[in-house]
Amino acid sequence: MTETFQLEPHAMVIGALGGSGTRAVAEAFERLGYVHGPALNRSRDCLDFTYLFVRTDWMASPLPSINHRLGILRGVAETGHHPEAAPLDRLTDVVTERNSAAEGRAFLVKEPNSHMFADEILAAWPDAAFLFVHRHPLDMAFSSNTNQLKRWGEALGISAERSGSLPAAQLDVWIHARQAQTARERRLGGRTASLDYERFIEAPVATLRRACQALGMKITNARLEEACRNVTIPDSRGRWREQDLSCFREDQLAYCRDDGWL
């Protein structure tokens, strides 16, 4: 019998700001035995989550409750379909990969925006864990991926105008997400953890081991080494060092210093 059927937690949800390296982390968990699917895009995001929680314009208004949508998502992940979820072929042409449904096996939902719903996910799915991946805040601030700022900024009270610049607004989103996850770990230790992407690309096995241990997972070194065998260092690492940091407020830079990034 393989370890696939013994994985706990049974559901693993991975979120972050866009561009934080969730694809590499999710692929490591997939190698550990989690079923990753069933419909993925080029970034290997779970498109069922995307269309239930992010791109909801295809759904009738008012939107079903978050718990109701989580029930639909779970049905799709476990069986490949749900009577209340329209086939993705009708919604998008960005499906690049289709995998088999979990069918009783431990499953993985990787979608960066999931961090916005992590509390609700953990409350609705008692057998789930949430892993928050975070990358260097200033690398994220200068990222061209501003989708989450555009999507959630208004709800968070964050904009380029309020923050002082677009990079500063990106950094405010990063700080908000990081603080929310820190509070979540204080409340729900053992069911949620963070993974430092900077450390992951430098020491993938040790970093993945720490994350797994924080979630109560016991994984052999051999499996961890196999899970991390394709981890590489991206070219975008350290791009903030070539930028003018005067676009940030002093309170933001102070936070980054206190958090150990500067």
* Torsion angle, alpha carbons of 246, 249, 250, 251, to 10: -160
What is the pLDDT averaged over residues 115-144? 96
* Mean pLDDT along residues 57-63: 92
In what helix (H) or strand (E) does residue 107 lie, and over which residues does it extend? strand 107-110
Residue spans of the domains in the chain: they are: 3-258
Q: Given strand 107-110, what is the order of strands in its sheet?
A: 35-36, 107-110, 11-15, 128-134, 192-196
Mean pLDDT of the region 26-38: 95
Amino acid letter for position 243? Q
**Mean pLDDT (the chain, rounded):** 93
Residue 18 one-letter amino acid:
G
**Residue 171 in this model has a pLDDT that exceeds 80:** yes
Both tokens assigned to 15: 């979120």
260, with CB counted inside 10 A (0-12, 13-18, 19+), is exposed
Contact 8, 213 (CB under 8 A): no
pLDDT score for 6: 59
For residue 248, the model assigns a pLDDT of 97
Instruction: State pLDDT tens for residues 131-159.
Output: 999 999 999 999 999 999 999 999 999 99
Q: Provide the CATH topology of domain 3-258.
A: Rossmann fold (3.40.50)
Q: What is the DSSP letter of 240?
A: G
Q: What dihedral do alpha carbons 36, 222, 235, 94 form, nearest 10°? A: -10
Which positions ≥6 away from 144 have C-beta within 8 Å?
none
- Segment 198-233, tens digit of pLDDT: 999 999 999 999 999 999 999 999 999 999 999 998
Q: What is the pLDDT of residues 77-110, one digit of tens each?
A: 999 999 988 888 889 899 999 999 999 999 999 9
